Chain A
């Protein structure tokens, strides 16, 4: 539901049904709501059968990449020769995204149950839930829930541990996350080897996002055909998705809708539209790493993996950032570039230098010292930052820059021509 707002009739509440209910955070409260029934059932099932059900449901990773979850699980060795691990990615740090935070704050047991079912499916005995260091309240809630559920003995032989990050966006990248668990700097690893072959501690590992795992118990309960049927547009996108909407809307918050839901309805009906007297200018539909959409693209976009790609962007994590006509796009694109420059792990030259120089050039433009050639220079830099590094952090920095220059070129040109008052000091 649109936490902190009341549910909207156009929402489909699966993951967010119990948001805001303090009692749902407790073990007893969760059991009262049918919690842990599916875990008990799953533990009696063949792991391969659990994998098949999730495959049939069409569930895809909710962290950003949208990879089919059941297929990912099936990459784990069938014959177990070494310890297997499950890592839960709760490092939610993508600007615009705050759904996993809400899942952990309100329904910690949904995540724990989903994680334990996944661990059974991939034959992992140990689960690490990697929670970003800034999530102090979700950490406390998760810690209490884990202690209660463990004391109740619901996890059988599966051990679940929380691991706290310490301030590094890049640790949301799955191989960096594993390095961070191992007590290393959060540098992404070159793939292959893929995690299913050699992941955390060199052992077969699966990494799943919080929202992905929270969807697993309902899938087992109501069945794969039910989940697959939750699809308004592309049959390749199934289920419900939490969209975190922020920025210039009247009611920012988390909204859960069926895949294929129109972005226009999300913004104007569920979120109450723009502030009085303002109009929509731009929207980033999937967290800050995806290309910016203009108004026309936004208002005709369907929210599923295929629908957003059709408009030239990506569904990503479902973090929807809304900009109204009061926004200085050049300044905001600079802020995004600065974010990536700050968060670059600095392993790859293209990223370390590219994100820093992109930021510097944008700052120069905002200080009224831009040159006409700067836009081409930024695009040239972006070209060198795309598809050439170990992970996609530098690609993510390039995405808003390239789409921003393409769609809001006039604003850049006004700064460069001196027709806009500089907003920064050189």
Chain B
């Protein structure tokens, strides 16, 4: 975690603070801006550290424990650093019967991440299996960062991975 001797660089200064202020006007409570605020942190820092959570808590008038309770509820917030390219392969039943597990395995092989949830030695790739991406007619859908790629087959994976290098 980021609790160390180095000084903490706050996320919500300058343009980021302005963006958050704009978001706050959409809701009657400050607390309601929590999910959007956490998205902003993740966009800026790649993941959400305990220190980030404490900052969000302070900005929104919440406690760090409360913020952590929310962060841990939602699977898309990273509580640890992940690879530069974050790959989510849907392996729920509709995709599963169309060969999704082989797609996930192909990503592990092609990226060198080797294990689900682990990051490749070069720090570029983290691959996970996820439950239903809501694109079941396009089996297998894969999210690489914010790009949704439809109808991925194991054969296409090496070329896809090359594209993101």
Contacts and interface: CB of A to CB of B under 8 A. Distances in A.
Interface of A: 83, 92-98, 100-101, 132-137, 159, 161, 163-169, 180-186, 201, 244-248, 252-254, 288, 319, 321, 323, 327, 332, 335-336, 338-339, 342-343, 345
B153 interface: no
A92 B131 CA distance: 12
A185 B70 contact: yes
A97 B90 CA distance: 13
A186 B139 CA distance: 28
B75 interface: yes
B146 A136 contact: yes
B94 A96 contact: yes
Given A97-B136, A184-B70, A185-B69, 17 more contacts: A93-B132, A94-B132, A95-B93, A96-B136, A98-B134, A98-B135, A98-B138, A137-B148, A163-B36, A165-B35, A166-B39, A181-B32, A183-B70, A184-B31, A252-B138, A252-B139, A343-B131
A182 B92 contact: no
A335 B88 contact: no
Interface of B: 26-29, 31-36, 38-39, 60, 62, 69-70, 73-77, 88, 91-94, 96-98, 130-139, 143, 146-148
Contacts of B62: 183
B134 A252 contact: no
B28 A201 contact: yes
Q: Which of A135, A166, A184, A327 has the most CB of B within 10 A?
A: A166
A246 B137 contact: yes
Contact of A101 (B60, B135, B146): B135
Contacts of A180: 35
Contacts of A183: 29, 31-35, 60, 62, 70
B29 A245 contact: no
Closest 8 CB pairs of A and B: A183-B34, A167-B76, A166-B74, A167-B75, A246-B136, A183-B31, A252-B137, A185-B73
A97 B134 contact: yes
B136 A335 contact: no
Q: Which of B26, B31, B76, B137 has the most CB of A within 10 A?
A: B137
Given A168-B75, A339-B131, A244 B137 contact: yes
B34 to A, nearest CB: 3
Contacts of A182: 29, 31-32
Given A181-B32, A184-B70, A133 B76 contact: yes
A164 B36 contact: yes
Contacts of B73: 168, 185-186, 345
A345 B131 CA distance: 15
A132 B135 CA distance: 12
Nearest to A185: B73
A136 B143 CA distance: 9
Contact of B136 (A134, A185, A244): A244
Q: Which of B33, B38, B134, B146 has the most CB of A within 10 A?
A: B134
Contacts of A338: 131
Contacts of A98: 134-138
Nearest to B70: A185
Contacts of B34: 183
Given A163-B36, A164-B39, A95 B136 contact: yes
B93 A164 contact: no
Contact of B97 (A92, A165, A248): A248
Nearest to B74: A166
6 contacts: A95-B132, A180-B35, A182-B29, A183-B60, A247-B139, A321-B94
Given A167-B74, A185-B69, A323 B134 contact: no
Q: Which of B27, B77, B136 has the most CB of A within 10 A?
A: B136
B134 A132 contact: yes
A97 B93 CA distance: 12
Contacts of B137: 98, 244-246, 252-254
A132 B75 CA distance: 12
A125 B138 CA distance: 37
Contact of A136 (B38, B131, B139, B147): B147
Contacts of B148: 134, 136-137
B69 to A, nearest CB: 6
B93 A169 contact: no
Given A96-B94, A247-B98, A201 B29 contact: yes
A247 B92 CA distance: 11
Contacts of B77: 166-167
A135 B146 CA distance: 9
A169 B131 contact: yes
B93 A332 contact: yes
Contacts of B97: 247-248, 323, 327, 332
A92 B139 contact: no
Nearest to A136: B146
Q: Which of B39, B69, B96 has the most CB of A within 10 A?
A: B96
A336 B131 CA distance: 9
A335 B76 contact: no
A139 to B, nearest CB: 9
